[in-house]
Amino acid sequence: MAEIVCIIGNKGGTGKTTLSHMLCQGMGLLGQRSVCVLTDTHREPLDPEGRRYLVADARTREALGKVVDKIRSLPGWLGVIDGGGNRTEMDRKLYGLASLVLLPFRDSHEDIRTVIRDLEMFPRAWAIPAQWPTNLWQQEAAQKTIREHLGKHADRILPPVSALSASKLLLQRNIPAKLPTPLGNACRALAYQILEMLEIDCEPPMVEVEDEAAAVSAGEAAMPAVDRCDPASTTDPVRH
């Protein structure tokens, strides 16, 4: 049966939609078929052209039921359902149908307060630090905040996904024909981590290297975003 991953959480703007698309793009790059499912009635569907995954519009209750049934009938596929902020009832529903639930949160006290509430409401869900600082000093401060405020839930925090400006390209209605290498690497690293959690076999991803000049002009390092911080030193995430 297909697996369903939901990316939810009460706080708006944490990166649910970006992570959903990064995860699906990464799945495509790793040879895994996936569908990114839109449920947020305040957003428009994106053009599937050029993406490594399908997109589905499930903004009504009926459409969501049909899309989920369809995905479940496709063995080997992965459905990634993108929630919408401030919709506790919908989050509960999505939590109930997912095999893996991710709760992105940013380095802010408000996000952390909200994710603690969500972690308590959804005992199978994992918190995932998103838009995480890449600057060393900011990273240390962010990790200290996590230790202080999320210590009780340390075993449910995944490695962070770094801030990566190129990630917004995936949320364009039409994506460019060529996506930046760091984005591909970040998508692959995220997808690999999720496949491991779902116990789906997959070869570890190759990290593509771009030429240094391109990396410098893009203002981003060539390392995969999820690996760039050293999560083990702070949050000691448990791999499943």
Which residues are at the interface with Mg ion (CB under 5 A)?
16-17
Q: Give me 119's structure tokens.
A: 């972690």
Our CB check for ligand ATP shows the closer of 200 and 223 to be 223
169 within 8 A of 175, measured Cβ to Cβ: yes
Q: Per the structure block, which two tokens stand in for 172?
A: 């364009």
Up-side HSE of residue 206: CA atoms within 13 Å toward CB?
6
Q: What are phi and psi of 157, to 5 degrees?
A: -110, 125
Q: Tell the smallest beta-carbon distance from residue 21 to ligand ATP (Å).
A: 8
- The reply to whether 161 sits near ligand ATP by the rule CB under 6 A is yes
8 A C-beta contact, residue 68 and residue 98: no
The verdict on 16 binding ligand ATP (CB under 6 A) reads: yes
Q: Work out whether 130 is an interface residue with ligand ATP (CB under 6 A).
A: yes
Does 17 interact with ligand ATP (rule: CB under 6 A)? yes
* Residue from the set 114, 167, 181, 235 that interacts with ligand ATP by CB under 6 A: 167
Nearest residue to Mg ion by CB is: 17
The encoded tokens of residue 138 equal: 């900011």
Q: Which residues are within 8 A (CB) of 192 and not within 5 positions of it... i.e. 6 or more apart?
A: 26, 30, 202, 204, 205
**Residue among 172 and 233 whose Cβ is closer to Mg ion:** 172
The site partner of 13 among ligand ATP, Mg ion, none (C-beta below 5 to 8 Å per kind) is ligand ATP
Distance between CA atoms of 131 and 15, rounded to whole angstroms? 7
* Type of residue at 225: A
Nearest-approach distance from CB 104 to ligand ATP, in angstroms: 6
State in angstroms the smallest separation of the CB of 198 from ligand ATP. Answer: 21
Residues of this chain that interact with ligand ATP (CB under 6 A) are 12-18, 40, 84-85, 130-131, 161, 163-165, 167-168
